[in-house]
Amino acid sequence: MGTHVKSGIRERARDLFRVTVALLIIGGVPIGGITLVGVDEGLAQTSGSGSLADFKSGQVTDKHGNRLEIDKKDYVLQANVTVRDDEGKPRDLGEVTPGAMVQFHLKQGRIDQLVLILPR
């Protein structure tokens, strides 16, 4: 096969993979142990993004002051950060501890919305 044909096949495979992942997320299939199903849709709408896909997921690995470390990456919390659980109920930031699974939204590089995933 020519280089042009191989390149086209690779590009189609990448596109198919992206579509598959998007459909799995929309369908609520857990990817890496986290799913977006059950997160209060009103919470996502308040971000102005209009999409739950704008939320990132991870595990809190450390907490200090106005900073959260999620999956070993440091994030600053906005002063008016909202914290809710995955059922949409308001939660206290003190309930977010190392080991907790979270979904979060970034606004201007800072966490403005945090969703605490409750153990089932």
**pTM for the full predicted model:** 0.58
State the Cα–Cα distance between residues 109 and 65, nearest whole angstrom: 17
48-95 pLDDT tens trace: 444 567 899 999 999 999 999 999 999 999 999 999 999 999 999 999
Structural tokens at position 117 = 């995933």
Q: What percentage of residues in the chain have a pLDDT greater than 90?
A: 52
**CATH ID of 37-117, from 3.40.1380.10, 3.40.50.1970, 2.40.50.140, 2.40.50.320:** 2.40.50.320
What CA–CA distances, in Å, run from 22 to 28, 69, 106? 10, 26, 20
Residue with tokens 């907790």: 100
